[in-house]
């Protein structure tokens, strides 16, 4: 059984991320990373000027480099990566997350979130989170589940909003979630939406 501490959202350690960003990154170095390090490294290369593009698929993390080389890092079979960008008015269609390029609307915004396994009722996550510099929030969660995600956000004017969506974590699922619009609390129930972009 998964423990909440093992699958909670990333704690971004500024020092280690900074060190990674300063090192030259190429295909050989990238393939030596584990799956979590690969995503953290990709986040540190957000909007980089080195021509490096990293994409997170359901089963692996791929990287392509300006010299034409490429690399991939496998994701364990029991893990699934989700990057979620709750939004107010601006979003983009997305299927597989590109940490080096995807941009969400809300940056540095604190909100509360929870995730519940639809089949068992088990609460997988329940915590405060802050959107990253790219406007997303990264999570490692169990694979092959349907998880009901809820985000609560209050803005500086005291307006309280909520976003809900049931998200699948199987081999055909999205790793990039850009469909969670923050609405007044009593609007729409959790739904599972289908997307075919990227």
**Does 194 score more than 90 pLDDT?**
no
At residue 187 the predicted structure's pLDDT band, cuts being 50, 70 and 90, is low
Q: Which residue has the tokens 């490692």?
A: 140
Q: Which residue has the tokens 């059984």?
A: 1
Answer whether 106's CB lies under 8 Å from 85's CB. yes
Answer whether 124's CB lies under 8 Å from 175's CB. no
At residue 158 the predicted structure's pLDDT band, cuts being 50, 70 and 90, is confident
Question: Within 10 Å of residue 16's Cβ, how many Cβ atoms?
Answer: 13
Q: Where in the chain is the domain with CATH 2.60.40.3700?
A: 77-184
The dotted CATH code for 77-184 is 2.60.40.3700
| Minimum mean pLDDT range among 4-18, 110-124, 162-176, 180-194 | 4-18
Question: Within 10 Å of residue 57's Cβ, how many Cβ atoms?
Answer: 15
Answer whether 27's CB lies under 8 Å from 69's CB. yes
The separation between CA 24 and the C-alpha centre of its own chain, rounded to angstroms, equals 24
**Does 17 score more than 80 pLDDT?**
no
Question: Within 10 Å of residue 127's Cβ, how many Cβ atoms?
Answer: 11
| pTM (two decimals) | 0.83
Pull the structure tokens for residue 111. Answer: 């909100």
Q: What is the DSSP string of 12-29?
A: --HHHHHHHHHS---HHH
Q: What is the mean pLDDT of the chain?
A: 88
Q: What is the DSSP string of 81-139?
A: EEEE--BSS-----SSB-TTT---S--S-EEEEEEEETTT--EEEEEEEE--TTS-EEE
């Amino acid at each position: 059984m998964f423990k909440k501490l093992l699958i909670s959202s990333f704690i971004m350690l500024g020092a280690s991320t900074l060190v990674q960003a300063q090192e030259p990154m190429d295909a050989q170095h990238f393939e030596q990373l584990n799956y979590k390090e690969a995503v953290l490294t990709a986040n540190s290369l957000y909007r980089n000027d080195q021509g490096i593009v990293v994409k997170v698929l359901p089963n692996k993390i791929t990287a392509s480099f300006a010299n034409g080389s490429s690399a991939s890092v496998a994701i364990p079979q029991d893990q699934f990566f989700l990057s979620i960008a709750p939004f107010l008015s601006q979003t983009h269609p997305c299927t597989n997350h590109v940490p080096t390029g995807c941009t969400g609307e809300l940056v540095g915004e604190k909100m509360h979130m929870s995730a519940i396994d639809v089949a068992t009722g088990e609460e997988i996550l329940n915590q405060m989170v802050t959107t990253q510099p790219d406007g997303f929030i990264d999570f490692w969660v169990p694979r092959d589940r349907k998880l009901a995600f809820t985000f609560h956000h209050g803005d500086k004017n005291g307006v309280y909003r909520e976003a809900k969506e049931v998200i699948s974590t199987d081999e055909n699922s999205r790793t990039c979630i850009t469909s969670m619009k923050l609405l007044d609390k009593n609007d729409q129930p959790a739904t599972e939406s289908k997307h075919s972009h990227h």
